[in-house]
Amino acid sequence: MASLRVLVGCKRVIDYAVKIRVKPDKSGVVTEGVKHSMNPFDEIAVEEAIRMKEKKLASEVIAFSCGPTASQETLRTAMAMGADRSIHVEVDANQAEIIQPIHIAKLLSKIAQEEKADIVMVGKQAIDDDCNQTAQMTAALLDWPQATFASKLEPAEGGLKVTREIDGGLETIQVKTPTVISSDLRLNEPRYATLPNIMKAKKKPLAKKKPEDYGVEIKAHQEIKKVEDPPTREAGQKLETVEELVTKLKDGGFI
Amino acid sequence: MSSSLYRTVSGLPRLFRKKPCLSLNQRHIFTGSCIDASDGLHDDQVQIQQMARNFADNEMAPKMKEWDQEEYFPRDVFKKAGELGFGAVYCREKYGGTGLKRLDASVIFEALATGCVSTTAYISIHNMCGWMVDEFGSDSLREKWIPKLASMETCASYCLTEPGAGSDAASLITSAKKDGDHYVLNGEKVFISGAGATDVYIVMCRTGGEGAKGISCFLIEKDTPGLSFGKKEKKVGWNSHPIRAVIFEDCKVPVSNRIGEEGEGFTIAMRGLNGGRINVASCSLGGAHASMEHVRNHFKVRKQFGQTLENFQYLQFMFADMAAALLASRLLVRNAAEALDNTAPNAVPLCSMAKLFATEECFKICNQALQMFGGYGYLKEYPVQQYFRDSRVHCILEGTNEMMRLLVSRDILKER
């Protein structure tokens, strides 16, 4: 079981606490001068990979990110938490705008093969586009088993026993390695990187690559027509009687 | 008539009905603005700052009110802070310190103080004590204490002030008389942060004649016979750590516990305080920054005369002045920290000037923030009053701001 190599995807996203603003031309959201951080679900994936290494289940943790130069900050964070090294697939700002889960899945599957990874671990979704596709697509491209929405991982014969969060409760499945796992919120609570580890992370290797290095073309398959603010909530009304309420609901076409 | 009656009658209940936002759920709302605390920092400093701020947001800010009201010394949080490297930030790595610089420490303490000024102030005092051991102690003292201080399993207190020796610290009279392989200490120290709750005491005593040259520095463990504590004082702020008198009555301390040479104590005390002044000023910055974050949130939701407060020009202008004062303070503090890192010849007046300016301006910012919150600002349920109370003492300790003015004016009037 020992000496598994874990490849973890780390997406740089707008920080979860930032108030999202739509650009005036409705082409997207404002990202300039906005605090960014690692996608919280990816942070959970990184934490789990590091814990596997600490339990001697994994031999190496490789962090991966695809995005503009600033994505390297996210990789430094992953390495400060405990990832051994990282791979940055750099794209320019225009390409970064059109990146979709299929591109990341192609990159991840190529890198997984090249690095002989046994586990590809990603967050179940990124909090910016909420796609929830990368893990599934990566598993399909690699033809590996997948265990999505993981809330518990345990070593098992020839692979892992994974507890998954599903609509009706929890489901426990067993997957053989190599496998693709996506982390759910309750898998763990990520640690703080310690000050000495933040300093050491600067010296850990960070490989700089291009999509072409993996034969992946970043081409938009969809076009974003318009990004809009959610409708603002209108003021409520206080009603005196149930009859009034029923009338209002009928008028509004709700019943 | 009717409208004034309405105000009078409805004033109080409304205070409790419509509460403005209590928490900083919009973290880091000044990111990218002109008072972004990460401006001008290197990548690794930004990472350190973010980690410290996350720690403050998650581990400190939610509890700061409770620590203040219960007067709780949060050793559990100190232990977590120690694990992350906050216990000995600018001690060398050789003996277990984190090995960062004064500027890094300032960035860290500012970030931590947004979550609790008082608790961070104690952590900074602890750091100053550790630095004294690391910088001036014998190898055996360093090996024994730095790892424990760095992890904050052992907490330290700094003992300089006496009932009769405040600003005129060199007039201290607590005596240490050498007797074979021991010193015997007699006297009393007052206003000692952490006293009674902490484990080791860095104490300045008179081993020689009068004046600064007759002072030596000792490390004393809490359970040493002859060491006792006065009553816990009631304070306006800084309530998450106790303040007591530390009393020595024929307290025997091994010669090996002396930090530095005999007569070196005052130099150690003053050099420690240079850093201490940067640290306490950094705590003020954090408190002022957090107060402004709270005000900003309040401005966005609080409505009067049919508009949110952010639309009132008087408040806008006042807020801009606060921003300018905050940034000026921060730049002065970071400049002084760098001077200390570079052992610049004018580091002492620069640290004094930074402490003087930042602690006074940041206290004013907290006071104005309180004003902007109106009646809510005066309630202990809201955090601005705590930043205000906690940062008031920064104008007094680590050398009063009057002494800071003395040090600055002495420097600029010196014949060169």
Nearest to B44 among A17, A37, A199 (CB): A199
Tell whether A199 is within 8 A of chain B (Cβ). Answer: yes
Convert B186-220 to b/e letters by CB count within 10 Å (16 or more is b): bbbbbbbbbbbbbbbbbbbbbbeeeeeebbbbbbb
Q: Which of A33, A37, A194 is the closest to B85 by Cβ?
A: A194
Structural domains in chain B, sorted by start: 43-151 (1.10.540.10), 156-263 (2.40.110.10), 266-413 (1.20.140.10)
Closest CB to A198: pick one of B28, B51, B83: B51
Nearest-Cα distance to chain A for B32, in Å, is 4
Contact A15 B85 (CB under 8 A): no
Is the Cα dihedral B50, B52, B53, B55 positive or negative? positive
CA closest to B92 among chain A residues: A196
Position A43 pLDDT exceeds 60: yes
Give the minimum alpha-carbon distance from A110 to chain B in angstroms, rounded to a whole number: 30
Mean pLDDT of B11-36: 55
3-state secondary structure of B307: strand
Rounded average pLDDT over B108-112: 98
A-chain residue closest to B105, CA distance: A195
pLDDT at B182: 97
Please check the confidence at residue A21 and state whether its pLDDT lies above 70. Answer: yes
List CB contacts (< 8 A) between A80 and chain B: 47, 51
Whether residues B31 and A77 touch (CB distance < 8 A) is answered with no
| Cβ contact A195–B26 (<8 Å) | no
The percent of residues above 70 in pLDDT, for chain A, comes to 99
Among A139, A173, A170, A134, smallest CA distance to A156 is for A173
User: Which A residues 139-158 touch B at CB under 8 Å?
Assistant: none
- Is B50 in contact with A37 (Cβ distance < 8 A)? yes
> In B141-181, at which residue ranges do the beta strands (DSSP E only) sit?
156-159, 175-179
Contacts with A193 from chain B: Cβ below 8 Å: 47, 51, 84
Tell if the CB–CB gap between A195 and B51 is shorter than 8 Å.
yes
B94 is written with which tokens?
């050789």
User: Which of A18-27, B16-25, B142-151, B385-394 shows the lowest mean pLDDT across its residues?
Assistant: B16-25
C-alpha distance from A156 to closest chain B C-alpha (Å)? 32
Is residue A96 within 8 angstroms of chain B, CB to CB? no
Angle at B72 between CA B248 and CA A193, to 5 degrees: 105
Q: Which pLDDT score is estimated for B22?
A: 40
Tens digit of each residue's pLDDT (9 = 90 or more) over A114-139: 999 999 999 999 999 999 999 999 99
- How far from each other are the two terminal CA atoms of chain B, in whole angstroms? 70
The answer on pLDDT for B16 being more than 50 is no
Please name the member of B33, B54, B98 whose beta carbon is closest to the beta carbon of A192.
B54
**A76 touches B: beta carbon within 8 Å:** yes
* pLDDT for B178 beyond 90: yes
Domain boundaries, chain A: 4-251
The band of A2, judged by pLDDT with boundaries at 50, 70 and 90, is low
Distance CA B78, CA B74 (A): 6
Q: Look at residues A150, A160, A156 and name the one whose alpha carbon lies nearest to residue A41.
A: A150
In this complex, the residue of B31, B44, B51 whose CB is nearest that of residue A34 is: B31
Confidence of residue B29 (pLDDT cuts 50, 70, 90): confident
pLDDT of residue B12 exceeding 50: no
DSSP 8-state class, residue B27: T
A74 part of contact set with chain B, CB < 8 Å: no
As a whole number of angstroms, the distance between CA B281 and CA B398 comes to: 10
- Nearest chain B alpha carbon to A75: B47
Tell me the average pLDDT of chain B.
93
Exposed, middle or buried, A217 (CB in 10 Å: 0-12/13-18/19+)?
exposed
Mean pLDDT lowest for which of B7-21, B291-305, B367-381?
B7-21
User: How buried is residue B156: exposed, middle or buried, by Cβ count under 10 Å (0-12/13-18/19+)?
Assistant: buried
Over 50: is that where the pLDDT of B191 sits?
Answer: yes
- B251 three-state secondary structure: strand
Closest CA–CA distance from residue A194 to any residue of chain B (Å): 4
Global confidence as pTM: 0.89
SS3 at position B248:
strand
> How far B36 CA sits from the closest chain A CA (Å)?
10
> For residues B329 and B341, what is the distance between their CA atoms, to the nearest angstrom?
18
**Alpha-carbon gap, residue B128 to B106, rounded angstroms:** 12
Cα gap A86→B88, rounded to integer Å: 30
What's the confidence (pLDDT) of residue B11?
35
- DSSP strand pairing (B243-254 vs B307-308): unpaired
Decide if pLDDT at B20 tops 70. no
B408, pLDDT greater than 60: yes
Over chain A, what is the mean pLDDT?
94
**ipTM score of complex:** 0.85
How far apart are alpha carbons B399 and B276 in whole angstroms? 10
B408: left (phi over 0), alpha (psi -120 to 50) or beta: alpha
Q: Is the pLDDT of residue B4 over 60?
A: no
- B215 backbone dihedrals φ, ψ, rounded to 5°: -105, 140
| B226 vs B248: CA distance, rounded Å | 6
**Cis before B349? omega within 30:** no
Contact B51 A193 (CB under 8 A): yes
Mean pLDDT of B193-199: 97
Strands in A68-128 per DSSP E: 85-90, 119-123
Instruction: Show residues of chain A in contact with B86, CB under 8 Å.
Output: 195
- pLDDT score of A234: 86
Count of CB atoms within 10 A of residue A27's CB? 12
| CATH assignment of A4-251, among 3.40.50.2300, 3.30.1490.20, 3.40.1190.20, 3.40.50.620 | 3.40.50.620
- Here the tokens at position B208 are 């020689």
The distance of A18 to chain B (nearest Cα, Å) reads 6
Cβ within 8 Å, pair B48-A195: yes
Question: Coil, helix or strand for B261?
Answer: coil
Predicted pLDDT at A236: 87
Q: Looking at the predicted structure, is the pLDDT value of residue A209 above 70?
A: yes
Which residues of B form the catalytic set?
Answer: 398
Of the candidates A32, A73, A198, the beta carbon closest to that of B48 is on A198
Quick one: pLDDT at residue A223?
87
Residue type, position A174, single letter: Q
